[in-house]
């Protein structure tokens, strides 16, 4: 899946030559978080008929309200690729722009967003990689200043209790598509709960992330988004 990383995560990144020898679960983790990196601020989707467009805009505004209402969140996640291989872990989010994916025991990978950049820390090979949050599909979830109405569209699900929002850059199809899935829930922020998302790259490789056990408004210290630098030189905390 390295071929789908695009400019935000180059094919020739330092660990790419080792992915074939390392567990597939590491490649899966990278793919779900960076492999379909889409510069969401640039994505503008085709116009829908007027009535449907208005309904879609209303739904997009509700999703915007959800993102702005969620100051902190913790959840469990389950991440599955098209082959059925699954990783699990915990997600911690704090607005604006902070996110942490702590993978299950045995997966020596950590993903942290500090508000400006997303960092992948690979403790197995002692390497660190960073790229702008704006080049990641996660920007739609962790940047409350973004307006989904400018780069997303509602995908009909056939279920009035489920909202599906698709974001992509039609000018860079190789970056793929991200689809965020929300469930209507009166007790959740803005009446919505993030259920998960699906990333699809230009080779139709699909990775799904499902959330459970969401908790909102919990105390999350800034230290949750620090990390230990595993590189032999300049060992420090991020």
pLDDT tens sequence across 37-56: 333 333 334 444 554 556 67
Residue 162: the pLDDT is 95
Q: Are 80 and 208 in contact (CB under 8 A)?
A: yes
Considering only 10-19, 66-75, 170-179, which range has the smallest mean pLDDT? 10-19
Q: What is the DSSP letter of 144?
A: T
Question: Can you tell me the distance from the alpha carbon of 116 to that of 106, in angstroms, rounded to the nearest whole number?
Answer: 28
How many folded domains does the chain comprise? Answer: 1
How many CB atoms are located within 10 Å of the residue 91 CB? 19
Q: Is residue 36 in some structural domain? A: yes
DSSP 71-125: SEEEEEEEEEETT--EEEEEEEEETTTEEEEEEPTT--EEEEEESSEEEEEETTT
As a whole number, the mean pLDDT across the chain is 76
The set of residues, in sequence order, having a beta carbon less than 8 Å from that of 88 and lying 6+ positions away, is: 76, 77, 78, 79, 103, 104
Q: How far apart are CA 84 and CA 78, in angstroms?
A: 11
Domain range enclosing 169: 2-219
Is residue 230 one of the residues assigned to a domain?
A: no
Look at residue 150 in the predicted model and tell me its pLDDT.
Answer: 76
Bond preceding residue 96 cis, omega within 30 of 0: yes
Look at residue 86 and tell me if it is in a domain: yes
Q: Is residue 147 a contact partner of residue 64, using CB atoms and an 8 Å limit?
A: yes
Please name which of 58, 9, 30, 60 lies closest in space to residue 166, comparing C-alpha atoms.
60
Report the pLDDT value the prediction gives residue 7, as an integer from 0 to 100. 34
Q: Is residue 216's pLDDT more than 90? A: yes
User: Does 113 reside within a domain?
Assistant: yes
**228 occurs within a structural domain:** no
pLDDT attached to residue 238: 60
Q: Tell me, yes or no, whether 175 lies in a domain.
A: yes
Q: Is residue 236 one of the residues assigned to a domain?
A: no
85 touches 76 (CB < 8 A): no
Q: Considering the domain boundaries, does residue 224 fall inside one?
A: no
The pLDDT value given to residue 209:
93
Q: What is the CATH number of the domain that holds 19?
A: 2.50.20.10
Q: How confident is the model at residue 15 (pLDDT cuts 50, 70, 90)?
A: very low
């Amino acid at each position: 899946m390295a071929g789908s990383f695009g400019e935000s995560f180059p094919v020739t990144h330092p660990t790419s030559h080792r992915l074939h020898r390392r567990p597939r679960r590491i490649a899966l983790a990278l793919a779900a978080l960076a492999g379909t990196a889409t510069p969401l601020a640039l994505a503008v989707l085709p116009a829908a008929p007027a009535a449907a467009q208005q309904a879609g805009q209303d739904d997009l505004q509700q999703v915007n309200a959800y993102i702005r209402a969620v100051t902190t969140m913790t959840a469990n996640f389950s991440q599955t690729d098209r082959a059925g291989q699954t990783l699990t872990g915990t997600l911690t989010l704090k607005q604006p722009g902070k996110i942490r994916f702590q993978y299950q025991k045995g997966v020596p990978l950590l993903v942290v967003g500090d508000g400006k950049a997303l960092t992948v820390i690979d403790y197995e090979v002692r390497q660190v990689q960073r790229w702008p949050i704006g080049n990641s599909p996660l920007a739609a979830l962790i940047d409350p200043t973004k307006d989904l109405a400018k780069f997303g569209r509602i995908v009909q699900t056939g279920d009035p209790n489920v909202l599906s929002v698709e974001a992509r850059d039609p000018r860079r199809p190789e970056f793929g598509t991200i689809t965020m899935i929300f469930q209507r829930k009166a007790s959740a922020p803005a009446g919505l709960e993030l259920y998960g998302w699906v990333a699809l790259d230009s080779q139709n490789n699909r990775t799904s992330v499902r959330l459970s056990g969401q908790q909102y408004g919990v105390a999350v210290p800034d230290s949750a988004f620090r990390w230990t630098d595993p590189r032999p030189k300049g060992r420090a905390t991020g």
